[in-house]
Structure 1
Amino acid sequence: MQIEFKATKRDAQGTGASRRLRRAGQLPGIVYGGAGDVRLVQMDHNELYHLLRKEAFHSSVLTIDIDGSKETVVLRDTQWHPYKQQVLHIDFQRIDSGQKMHLKVPLHFVNGDVSPAVKLGGCMIAHPINEVDIQCLPANLPGFIEVDLSALNAGETIHLSQLKLPAGVEVVHHGEGDPVVANATVAKGPAPEAAEGEAA
């Protein structure tokens, strides 16, 4: 998915300048990394607010057009107002098409309703992990990784190491062990006393 948006160079710095930008409907941001210099930018707040609501914006290679000069970036950080639906600041990092990059991408769980665990075992499927840190070249960056639950039986689990990854993509896991991505547990029924009371 190709996502492109516009920005303009921002000269004024500091808290007061950023506050004035926000009052004018602008969003202050920064572009850093790669071979270029750090660039302070400003964007239309509403445009970026709506882009941030799209899952793909968080896990895609983006094109930012800064006064007619286009750069390839990924989203690195956003700062939100504590209680308003307002973005306060946004960070983008340049990427190099020839260098591997790290990024978190979402997991999409599919076919859970047809799995033996649900259809035959009356289980609930839990997703302890909803996103995963990957490493790949920008051209290989997937918008998401699919987790197929169709063969999951009652009491079984799917681990991080069992994910089917697209070509050129590898998982980056810094902790110990092999984290559980999905598991099927039997849904708890009513307590025996409650069942007897209902029968009476």
Structure 2
Amino acid sequence: MSDYQLTANVRKELGKGASRRLRRANEQVAAIIYGGEKAPQPITIDKAAFYKAIEDEAFFSSLINIDVDGNKEQVIIRDLQRHPYKALVTHADFMRVDATHEMKLHVPLHVVGEDKCKGIKDDGGVLHVLANDIEISCLPKDLPEYLEVDISNLELGATLHLSDLALPAGVSSVALSHGEEHDSGVVSITHPTRGTADDNAEGDEAQPNAEPEAPEANAKQDDKGE
């Protein structure tokens, strides 16, 4: 699990006007820390450091240590609000974590073993990724950055489900906790699509000299004229 460190300041000026001034200055990002037994704490984070952090996929499934004016908080990121058409983050939500309580978080899935996959390598199948992430429940110390989906032995026509994933110790699937009917597919190997553009082109080439019916009709009209 990656270890992320951020430095923040208590945000004392609140409201829409203060938020607009903060965005115009374009140096900090407005955010809030909530959860636990403490009151919600509005903060600002250095924009450059924060934007660099969110470029890393693991940032969204890792514990984050935030130093707020000397007070340390351990959090996870819960939400990002983005500008509707500019590449700007307008607000970030962080939730405090408790080392003694399980938390729920979405973690990304990384597909591995595609180069060795029987259904693809031997049978020409096509890989379909049905889920890019799943929701898990675990203690903060057991939080994985991502989960691997090994398809090395997946055959043509087969599907890997949530129940087929090898979850780390202390980690469970939130969906499966609701029953077997929530055991959805994660990846599948299907037959390649038939009737491609190349197949159609070959079909057209097979009958290059097909005669239209119009000339025959014209010939009958000429006979009547004679």
Q: Calculate the TM-score normalised by the size of structure 1.
A: 0.95
| Aligned-residue offset at 1:36 | 1.5
1:162 aligns with 2:164: yes
Residue 192 of structure 2: aligned partner: 187
* Bigger fraction of residues in helix: 2
1:18 aligns with 2:25: no
| Aligned-residue offset at 1:50 | 1.8
Measured on the aligned residues, the alpha-carbon RMSD in Å equals 1.5
More deviation, 132-141/31-40: 31-40
Aligned counterparts, 1:79-158, within 5 A: 79-158=81-160
Residue 74 of structure 2: aligned partner: 72
| Counterpart Cα distance in 1 of 2:86 and 2:195 | 41
Larger radius of gyration: 2
The 3-state SS of whatever aligns with 1:74 is strand
Give the ranges of 4+ consecutive aligned residues of structure 1 lying more than 6 Å apart after TM superposition: none
C-alpha change, 1:119 and 1:51, in structure 2 (3 Å) is same
| Aligned-residue offset at 1:61 | 0.7
| Aligned-residue offset at 1:68 | 1.3
| Counterpart Cα distance in 2 of 1:37 and 1:47 | 25
| Native 8 Å contact 1:154 1:186 kept in 2 | yes
Residue 8 of structure 2: aligned partner: 7
| Counterpart Cα distance in 2 of 1:138 and 1:149 | 28
Which amino acid in 2 is paired with 1:87?
V
Give the gaps of 5 or more residues in structure 1.
Answer: none
1:197 aligns with 2:204: yes
| Counterpart Cα distance in 2 of 1:108 and 1:16 | 42
| Aligned-residue offset at 1:113 | 2.0
| Aligned-residue offset at 1:193 | 4.5
| Aligned-residue offset at 1:142 | 0.4
Give the gaps of 5 or more residues in structure 2.
Answer: 209-226
| Counterpart Cα distance in 1 of 2:128 and 2:140 | 31
Q: Calculate the TM-score normalised by the size of structure 2.
A: 0.84
Instruction: Give identity over the alignment, percent.
Output: 44
C-alpha change, 1:198 and 1:50, in structure 2 (3 Å) is farther
